[in-house]
C-alpha cells in the first residue's frame, strides 16, 4: 500500500486526538484502567462518524477491494510487528536505546510460541567452546528475562548453568507486560498486521521501496501505524512479504504442545507401562508435552485448520490412553496450546546468509551484531551478521527471530527461543540507531549498534 493512499489528517481531528496519543494503543504513560477505556469508547461513540470499513465488491464473479482512506492511529519511530520472544526483545531494546516504539500483536498476550504456543524449554543459550568451557552466548535481554522469571513464583526451573531451563507460560506473559510497560512502549493487542505501507518515492540511493509503517486489522476495520523503521517479528514474515521483500518459503514440522496436570498423583504397580507424560515444568505435578507433527505449510489456512483438528484428536487419544492406565486416573489435560506450533514459514533473503557449515567452521562476520548457540549436542556458537536481519531489496525493514536469513539447516538452530531473543535484541538496537542517525537501516553505523548492544549487556563473541 502506498503512503499517499492514507489519510492521517482529519481522522485525528474527528476523534479529538493528536498523533502522539493513539486512540487504541496503551502505553505506560496512559491509564490502562477500565475507567480510561470506558471514557475513550464513549468519546468515540459520540464523535466518530466514519465508516469502520469499506466493503469489498463482487463483480463478474471476482471480489475486489475499492481504494479507500485508512485512518492513521499512531506515528512512531520504530514499529515492531509481532510480540513473540524476538519482537518483545526488539521493542524493549529499541525503547531503551531512546526512541519511541510501538508494538503490535494479533493475540491477547505477548510471548508468541514461548507462551501461547506452550514451548517452554529454553534451548541453546549456552555453548561449549574449543577449550571445553561452557560459555553463555545469549545474554542481554534474554538473560535479564530469565533472572526476572527466577524472582517470580513458579517462573522458571532448571536454571543451573549448563542446563536448559523451563519457563511457565503465564508467568512469562505477566513478566513481558511489566517489561514492555516499564519501557513506555505503545502497545496494540488484538491487532493483526495485514499490509505494509511503502512510500510513493523509492530510496534515492538504492532505488528500493521504502517501508513507512503497517496497516493493522482491528474490530473497527483497518488502521495505519506510520513509522521510520519497521521490524517484522511475526515469525512468518507477514510484513516483509507484504512490503515486497524477497524471501524463501519453507515447509516444516507443525505440532500442538499441551500440558498435563496431577502427574505427581500417578501411582502405578511395578511393571506398569505408563504412556509418555512429557517434561517437568516449574509447577509441581504439571508437565508439558512437545509435538513434532508433520511437515506442512504454515501459511495455508486450510492446512492449519486440518493440523489443528488432527492434533487435538491425537492429544485426546494419548490423554485417554494415559488416563485409562491403572494408577493414572487423576491426571487431567490442563491445556492445549492456544496457538498452533508453526516452526518455519517465510525466511528473509537478507544481504548475508548464515549456514550450518559456516557456523561449524567458526565463520566470522565484519557486520556481527549478535551471537547464537546450538541445542543439538554439537555445541557450536556463531556470530549473527547484520545482513541476516535486513532485506536485500527493500529499505527500512528489519527482521528478528525465526525468519532471519539462514540456510534451511541453520534456520533449525536460529529459531530456538534464546536465539530469537538475541536477533530480536540486535534488530531493535539497529532500528533505534538508524532513527537516531537519520539514515536507512542499511546504512546504520554498526560500531554504534555494537556499542549500544554491549551497553545493554548483549554478548557479541
Ligand X SMILES: Cc1cc2nc3c(=O)[nH]c(=O)nc-3n(C[C@H](O)[C@H](O)[C@H](O)COP(=O)(O)OP(=O)(O)OC[C@H]3O[C@@H](n4cnc5c(N)ncnc54)[C@H](O)[C@@H]3O)c2cc1C
| C-alpha cell read off for 113 | 510460541
Q: Cβ(343)–Cβ(402) under 8 Å?
A: yes
Q: What residue has cell string 543459550?
A: 125
**Cβ-based nearer residue to ligand X, 12 or 288:** 288
Tell me whether strands 62-64 and 211-218 are parallel, antiparallel or unpaired: unpaired
**Cβ-based nearer residue to ligand X, 86 or 296:** 86
Distance CA 110, CA 171 (A): 11
**Cβ-based nearer residue to ligand X, 422 or 456:** 422
Q: What residue has cell string 567452521?
A: 361
**Cβ-based nearer residue to ligand X, 106 or 442:** 106
Burial of residue 45 (CB within 10 Å: 0-12, 13-18, 19+) is exposed
**Cβ-based nearer residue to ligand X, 228 or 415:** 415
**Cβ-based nearer residue to ligand X, 255 or 372:** 255
Distance of closest approach, residue 84 Cβ to ligand X, in angstroms = 2
Distance of closest approach, residue 188 Cβ to ligand X, in angstroms = 9
Which conformational region is residue 354 in: left (phi greater than 0), alpha (psi within -120 to 50 degrees), or beta? beta
**Cβ-based nearer residue to ligand X, 245 or 328:** 245
| C-alpha cell read off for 41 | 469508547
Distance CA 207, CA 418 (A): 35
Q: Please say whether the dihedral angle defined by the alpha carbons of residues 408, 237, 211 and 371, taken in this order, is positive or negative.
A: negative
**Cβ-based nearer residue to ligand X, 165 or 209:** 165
Distance of closest approach, residue 189 Cβ to ligand X, in angstroms = 9
Burial of residue 117 (CB within 10 Å: 0-12, 13-18, 19+) is buried
Distance CA 109, CA 300 (A): 23
Distance of closest approach, residue 256 Cβ to ligand X, in angstroms = 7
Distance of closest approach, residue 216 Cβ to ligand X, in angstroms = 7
Distance of closest approach, residue 160 Cβ to ligand X, in angstroms = 17
Distance of closest approach, residue 229 Cβ to ligand X, in angstroms = 17
The residue ranges that bind ligand X (CB under 6 A) are 81-87, 104-107, 112-114, 117, 119, 121-123, 192-193, 233-236, 238, 255, 257, 290-291, 341-343, 401-402, 415-417, 420
Distance CA 261, CA 363 (A): 45
Q: What is the dihedral of CA 179, 182, 185, 188, to 10 degrees?
A: 70
- Residue in 186, 171, 173 with CA at minimum distance from that of residue 110: 173
Q: What residue has cell string 524463501?
A: 248
Tally of residues, the chain: 461
Distance of closest approach, residue 357 Cβ to ligand X, in angstroms = 22
Distance of closest approach, residue 101 Cβ to ligand X, in angstroms = 15
**Cβ-based nearer residue to ligand X, 83 or 387:** 83
Distance CA 113, CA 342 (A): 8
- Residue in 159, 142, 50 with CA at minimum distance from that of residue 92: 142
Beta bridge mates, 350: 391
Tell me how far CA of residue 35 lies from CA of 20, 39, 40, 47, 191, in angstroms.
21, 6, 9, 18, 22
Alpha-helix runs per DSSP H in 130-208? 140-150, 169-182
Distance of closest approach, residue 22 Cβ to ligand X, in angstroms = 16
Distance of closest approach, residue 306 Cβ to ligand X, in angstroms = 16
**Cβ-based nearer residue to ligand X, 233 or 440:** 233
Distance of closest approach, residue 413 Cβ to ligand X, in angstroms = 10
Burial of residue 29 (CB within 10 Å: 0-12, 13-18, 19+) is exposed
Q: What is the dihedral of CA 188, 191, 194, 199, to 10 degrees?
A: -20
**Cβ-based nearer residue to ligand X, 85 or 406:** 85
**Cβ-based nearer residue to ligand X, 328 or 347:** 347
Amino acid at each position: 500500500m502506498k503512503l499517499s493512499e492514507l489519510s492521517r489528517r482529519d481522522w485525528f481531528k474527528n476523534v479529538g486526538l493528536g498523533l502522539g496519543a493513539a486512540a487504541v494503543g496503551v502505553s505506560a504513560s496512559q491509564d490502562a484502567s477500565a475507567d480510561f477505556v470506558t471514557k475513550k469508547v464513549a468519546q468515540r461513540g459520540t464523535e466518530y462518524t466514519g465508516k469502520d470499513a469499506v466493503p469489498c465488491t463482487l463483480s463478474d464473479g471476482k471480489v475486489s477491494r475499492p481504494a479507500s482512506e485508512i485512518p492513521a492511529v499512531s506515528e512512531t519511530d520504530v514499529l515492531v510487528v509481532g510480540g513473540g520472544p524476538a519482537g518483545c526483545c526488539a521493542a524493549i531494546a529499541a525503547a531503551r536505546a531512546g526512541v519511541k516504539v510501538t508494538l503490535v500483536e494479533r493475540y491477547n498476550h505477548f510471548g508468541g510460541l514461548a507462551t501461547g504456543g506452550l514451548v517452554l524449554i529454553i534451548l541453546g543459550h549456552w555453548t561449549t567452546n574449543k577449550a571445553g568451557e561452557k560459555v553463555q552466548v545469549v545474554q542481554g535481554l534474554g538473560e535479564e528475562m530469565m533472572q526476572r522469571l527466577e524472582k517470580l513464583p513458579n517462573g522458571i526451573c532448571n536454571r543451573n548453568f549448563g542446563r536448559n531451563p523451563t519457563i511457565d507460560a503465564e508467568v512469562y506473559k505477566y513478566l513481558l507486560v511489566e517489561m514492555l510497560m516499564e519501557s513506555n512502549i505503545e502497545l496494540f493487542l488484538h491487532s493483526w498486521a495485514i499490509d505494509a505501507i511503502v512510500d510513493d518515492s523509492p530510496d534515492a540511493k538504492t532505488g528500493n521501496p521504502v517501508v513507512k509503517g503497517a496497516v493493522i486489522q482491528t474490530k473497527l476495520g483497518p488502521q495505519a501505524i506510520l513509522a521510520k523503521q519497521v521490524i517484522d517479528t511475526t515469525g512468518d514474515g507477514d510484513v516483509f512479504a507484504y512490503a515486497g521483500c524477497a524471501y524463501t518459503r519453507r515447509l516444516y514440522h507443525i505440532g500442538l504442545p499441551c500440558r498435563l496436570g496431577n502427574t505427581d498423583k500417578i501411582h502405578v504397580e511395578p511393571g506398569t507401562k505408563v504412556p509418555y507424560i512429557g517434561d517437568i515444568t516449574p509447577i509441581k505435578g504439571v508437565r508439558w508435552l512437545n509435538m513434532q507433527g508433520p511437515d506442512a505449510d504454515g501459511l495455508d489456512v486450510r492446512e492449519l485448520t486440518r493440523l489443528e483438528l488432527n492434533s487435538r484428536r491425537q492429544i485426546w487419544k494419548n490423554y485417554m490412553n494415559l488416563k485409562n492406565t491403572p494408577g493414572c486416573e487423576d491426571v487431567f489435560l490442563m491445556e492445549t496450546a492456544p496457538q498452533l506450533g508453526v516452526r518455519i514459514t517465510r525466511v528473509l533473503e537478507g544481504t548475508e546468509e548464515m549456514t550450518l557449515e559456516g557456523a561449524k567452521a567458526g565463520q566470522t562476520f565484519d557486520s556481527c551484531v549478535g551471537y547464537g548457540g546450538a541445542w543439538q549436542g554439537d555445541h557450536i556458537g556463531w556470530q549473527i551478521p547484520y545482513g541476516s536481519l535486513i532485506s536485500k531489496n527493500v529499505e527500512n525493514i528489519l527482521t528478528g527471530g525465526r525468519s532471519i536469513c539462514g540456510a534451511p539447516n541453520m534456520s533449525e538452530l536460529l529459531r530456538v527461543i534464546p536465539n530469537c531473543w538475541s536477533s530480536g535484541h540486535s534488530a531493535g538496537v539497529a532500528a533505534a540507531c538508524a532513527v537516531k542517525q537519520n539514515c536507512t537501516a542499511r546504512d546504520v553505523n554498526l560500531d554504534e549498534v555494537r556499542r549500544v548492544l554491549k551497553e545493554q549487556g548483549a554478548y557479541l563473541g
